[in-house]
């Protein structure tokens, strides 16, 4: 760390992930069903808010069948009745050429769960 290797690594990762992040931001901007929330400051994932009727635990199961992994958000809330329509969507391990298609599949999964 004293030699600056950590800072250099962080800069490399930021450049490496910036295109992936932009692809996901663009996909989110084209969709009205899912909204980015609390992910404006970096990292390698987005917190997503789905429609009020969405149960992200069921979405995680449905999405996994389509080859998409999400992390339901209810476990991150510290209350007895956490909202179920939040989830975390990471992009760090997804190749750029699969992000847009994967997001479209995820939206289709959400729509398939609509009441």
- N-to-C CA span, the chain: 52
Residues 44-96 pLDDT 10s: 889 999 999 999 999 999 999 999 999 999 999 988 899 999 999 999 889 99
Phi, psi at 54, each rounded to 5°: -75, 135
Maximum alpha-carbon separation in the chain = 56
pLDDT of residue 52: 96
pTM for the full predicted model: 0.84
pLDDT at 8: 79
Res 110: pLDDT = 97
Q: Which domains does the chain have, with CATH numbers?
A: 19-112 (3.90.1150.10)
Please say whether the beta carbons of 67 and 49 come within 8 A: no
| pLDDT at position 40 over 70 | no
pLDDT digits (tens, 9 = 90+) for 10-35: 778 777 788 899 999 999 999 889 99
> In whole numbers, what is the pLDDT of the chain averaged over residues?
90
Are the C-beta atoms of residues 107 and 30 closer than 8 Å to each other? no
**If pLDDT is split at 50, 70 and 90, which confidence band does 37 have?**
confident
């Amino acid at each position: 760390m004293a030699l600056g290797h950590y800072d250099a690594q962080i800069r490399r990762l930021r450049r490496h992930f910036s295109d992936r992040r932009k692809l996901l931001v663009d996909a989110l901007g084209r969709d009205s069903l899912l909204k980015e929330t609390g992910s404006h400051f970096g990292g390698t994932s987005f917190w997503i808010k789905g429609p009020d009727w969405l149960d992200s635990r069921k979405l995680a199961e449905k999405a996994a069948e389509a080859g998409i992994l999400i992390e339901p958000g209810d476990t991150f809330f510290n209350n007895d009745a956490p909202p179920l329509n939040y989830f975390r969507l990471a992009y760090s391990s997804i190749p750029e050429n699969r992000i847009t298609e994967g997001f479209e599949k995820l939206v289709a999964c959400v729509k398939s769960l609509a009441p």
